Amino acid sequence: MMWYLLSVLEDERERQKFVRIYEEYHQRMEKTAIRILLNQADAEDAVQNAFMRVIEHFQRALEIPCEELAFWLISIVKNEALMIRRKNQKIVPLKEDWDAFAESAEETQSYSDLVALFARLPESYRSVLEMKMLIGYTDREIAERLGISETAVSTRASRGRALLRKLAEKEGFKI
């Protein structure tokens, strides 16, 4: 697959930059995807899809400062992993339910808006909520990973949810 990704890039300098990014961040991205998907094959698909997105927006990747590149890449792989997880969780109804289908399409449309809204949260709240809601860590696990108390985790989660609710109301989401 790597040869295909490299063939899409225009010149040797871009190929070398991509290889450096791939080698530096691949394992970290795969670990993130595994935590979300709990399946090695799906995680590899998510990472592959994420690198396809990187290639599609490679000029933008070249402009991102080094200290922000990791966050950008992890965000892409998280989104890809969540898309795979949603696809895996879909249940095919036995009868046609067009109302449910319309609601589902509407939810998909607003999902990207919700992700953008979530990204507006301060890092301290967002990181706790991501670990708690997306990855499913307990308060104790989050506290250990962030080096804070369980009480601080609970407080940040509560404040983060409240802020997310306010932002969602401002943006016109139905809550």
pLDDT digits (tens, 9 = 90+) for 10-33: 788 888 888 899 999 999 999 999
| Span 71-108, pLDDT tens digits | 889 989 998 998 888 887 654 444 444 444 344 444 44
Mean pLDDT of 153-165: 90
Task: Set out the domains of the chain in order of their start, with CATH numbers.
Answer: 1-95 (1.10.1740.10), 110-175 (1.10.10.10)
- pTM for the whole thing? 0.51
> Of residues 105 and 161, which shows the higher confidence score?
161
Helix orientation angle between 150-171 and 139-146, rounded to the nearest 10 degrees: 100
Number of Cβ within a 10 Å radius of residue 67: 7
